[in-house]
Amino acid sequence: MSERRTWNGIRSISSRAVAFGAVLTLSATAVATANVDAAPAWVTVVNDSFNSGSTYPSHWTAYNGPYGSGVDHNCAKPSHNTVSGGYLHLKMFYESSTAGKCGAAWYTGGLTLDRSLSAKNQRITIRFRVVETGGIQAHRIIPMLSPNDGTGIGEEDFCESTPTTFCSTFLHHADDIGRDRMKYFLDLSQWHTWVFTRYGYTVTSSIDGVPKLNFSGNDMSLPTKLKHVVLQQECNKLGCPATHAGSEDIQIDYIKVENA
């Protein structure tokens, strides 16, 4: 066999191998792309518009008493969650009566979704605004995904703030260890529609249809565990207002929760 014929044969075999390899590579790439880009099958588990009746659905449970970070500024009361005018209201105002679990004090609203609707991957769509009177501002997280195990590890605070000029998405591993934060500057006293999506190790957000956050993490920043939706309102970390007048009303037009 001549050297030329041997080289031509090798070249022919190599060309076929390269071509075959290219097909395999393209096929693998197509499969990988399909897996990455494939949209999850979202199943709606909550779709509340609050357009009828005078109370919220039974899959919501009201907080009653201190949230856990101090009686003097974190006392919730079920009667501070109401439905009227087509909205769910979470109201913060002072009560002089001693009937609440914190006696005469500032009380807030707060609701948690039934744990049976928890998931590792969720998409939350919510439209809300904040109405303040008398200069009263609460610290609010609307909404939050809270770990079912109660550790706080992997909590996802999607719109957290005290002022109404901005709020932040804050993903943290424990109570005081931040992993990622994005601040949105906008007027919370106006209506806005938010979509927050947790899928795998990715969290995305949009406001009024405009994409904002796109965070990719790992099992440290976004632990894979069951979480439930929370709507939280409380006095800020410096304590409740010195006055007994004024109020804050978080008005939620609708909330939709989907599990992947």
Q: What is the DSSP letter of 109?
A: -
Q: What is the pLDDT of residue 101?
A: 84
The predicted-structure confidence for 208-230, as pLDDT tens digits, reads as follows 999 999 999 888 889 999 999 99
CB neighbours of residue 33 within 10 Å: 10
User: Domain coordinates of the chain in residue numbers?
Assistant: 1-38, 43-259
The predicted-structure confidence for 135-178, as pLDDT tens digits, reads as follows 999 999 999 999 999 888 889 999 999 999 999 999 876 655 55
Q: What is the pLDDT of residue 5?
A: 31
The predicted-structure confidence for 22-62, as pLDDT tens digits, reads as follows 333 323 333 333 334 567 899 999 999 999 888 999 999 99
User: Could you tell me how far CA 121 lies from the centroid of its own chain?
Assistant: 11
Reading the block at residue 242, the tokens are: 């010195």
In a 13 Å sphere around the CA of 163, the CA atoms on its Cβ side amount to 9
Distance CA 251, CA 83 (A): 9
Q: What is the pLDDT of residue 22?
A: 34
Distance CA 134, CA 122 (A): 37
Distance CA 94, CA 245 (A): 7
**Which residues on adjacent β-strands are paired with residue 119?**
227
Comparing CA positions, the residue from 149, 169, 148 lying closest to residue 160 is: 169
Does residue 118 register a pLDDT over 70?
yes
For residue 31, count CB atoms less than 10 angstroms from its CB and return exposed for 0-12, middle for 13-18, buried for 19 or more: exposed
For residue 131, count CB atoms less than 10 angstroms from its CB and return exposed for 0-12, middle for 13-18, buried for 19 or more: middle
Fold of 43-259: Jelly Rolls (2.60.120)
Comparing CA positions, the residue from 256, 230, 229 lying closest to residue 108 is: 230
User: Could you tell me how far CA 225 lies from the centroid of its own chain?
Assistant: 14
Look at residue 217 and give its three-state secondary structure.
Answer: coil
Q: What are the backbone dihedrals phi and psi of residue 223, each rounded to the nearest 5 degrees, phi first?
A: -55, 140
Residues 6+ apart with CB under 8 A from 47: 254, 256, 257
Rounded CA Rg of the chain: 25
The predicted-structure confidence for 66-106, as pLDDT tens digits, reads as follows 877 655 667 899 999 999 999 999 999 999 987 778 888 89
Reading the block at residue 98, the tokens are: 């001693």
